[in-house]
Amino acid sequence: MTPTTAGATATSIAPRLVEGRGELSGAVVEALLSHRAPAYAPGTVMDADPYGEDLHLALYLLYELHYRGFDRVADAREWDLDLLRLRRAVEDRFLHALRSELADAPRTVEEAFASLLVEPVDLSGSLSHHLEKDGELWQLREYAALRSLYHLKEADPHAWVIPRLTGRAKAAMVAIEYDEFGAGRAADMHAQLFADLMVDLGLDPTYGRYLDQAPAPLLATVNLMSLFGLHRALRGALVGHFACVEVTSSPGSRRLAKAMSRCGAGRAAELFYVEHVEADAVHEQVVRHEVIGGLLAEEPGLEADVAFGCAATVLIEDRLAAHIGEAWSAGRSALRTPLSEG
């Protein structure tokens, strides 16, 4: 596709708030706009679907206060005690659901990553495989719009773990993050490369632009890394999440680069995934041997947390893939409202 905006960037301007999707998210929106405490009925959090639209939009909005905030919302609300109290309750609801569903998941790093290190023979359920072989341009555009909430902040939540690491683990994590942030070159930051990809696909690269159209399964993928990143107690899970992403990225990126090329999406659209094929193949080795290896050499008691972080990432990504696959199989948009034509 032809780029629609010259020199577009993943802008740092605070995004606009969106409308709530239920009592919890509506209470958060109203609280942020009114500068008052969130008002919701007792028991609302415990009654909420831990994977549902209302809970995950509420959690996303509360987490976003730690990133770029929102237009017309004071920066000081980041540490508002009433909002933090609600955030903790919502986090606990989500985290409890994850731990319950993964009660029988592997508790060692070797077991957690074993299946991820081998390319599956049957790729029939793989979104990247579908996009490579049969995907249409409208599906690539939807996929990019969905993933923009993740990729435009791609390395940020993982950076929170750096001061919580020491020695080998810290040095290796910094080295990988240095690459993610463009090795000192703003134009090469992976978030910027994704913004360029969006322009090639005729999408708006503004940070947070597609929040209102993003369904709960997508919001959960972003909330998961924010949850792990913001809690020192979950540093092992954050490392497990980061490692899982790096280990699984290269094969999928190779397929998506071919999909972009086949559909004529544009050079920048293809470049984002080509960059990840090479970079993440290297990162995989560093994160497994140095980040995880270094962390567990210092804190061996965190192994189960690392395994949990990996398993939770697979679970949440599988839920997103199922949501997208079901929508596309039925011939409908995977977004809450379809994109306009590019």
**Could you report the per-residue pLDDT of 75-125, keeping only the tens digit for each?**
999 999 999 999 999 999 999 999 999 999 999 999 999 988 877 656 667
Q: Mention every residue, 6+ apart, whose C-beta is less than 8 A from residue 308.
A: 99, 102, 105, 107, 236, 237, 240
Per-residue pLDDT at 5: 39
Contact between 201 and 272 under an 8 Å Cβ cutoff? The reply is: no
Per-residue pLDDT at 121: 52
Tell me which of 42-46, 96-100, 151-155, 312-316 is least confident.
Answer: 151-155
Q: Average pLDDT of the chain?
A: 92
Task: In whole angstroms, give the CA distance from residue 182 to residue 175.
Answer: 11
3-class DSSP string for 108-165: CHHHHHHHHHCCCCCCCCCHHHHHHHCCCHHHHHHHHHHHHHHHCCCCHHHHCCHHHC
Q: Where are the alpha helices (DSSP H) in the chain?
A: 23-34, 44-47, 53-64, 81-101, 109-114, 127-133, 137-151, 156-159, 167-180, 190-200, 216-230, 235-262, 267-286, 293-298, 303-329
> Measuring CA to CA, which residue among 324, 303, 147, 150 is closest to residue 226?
150
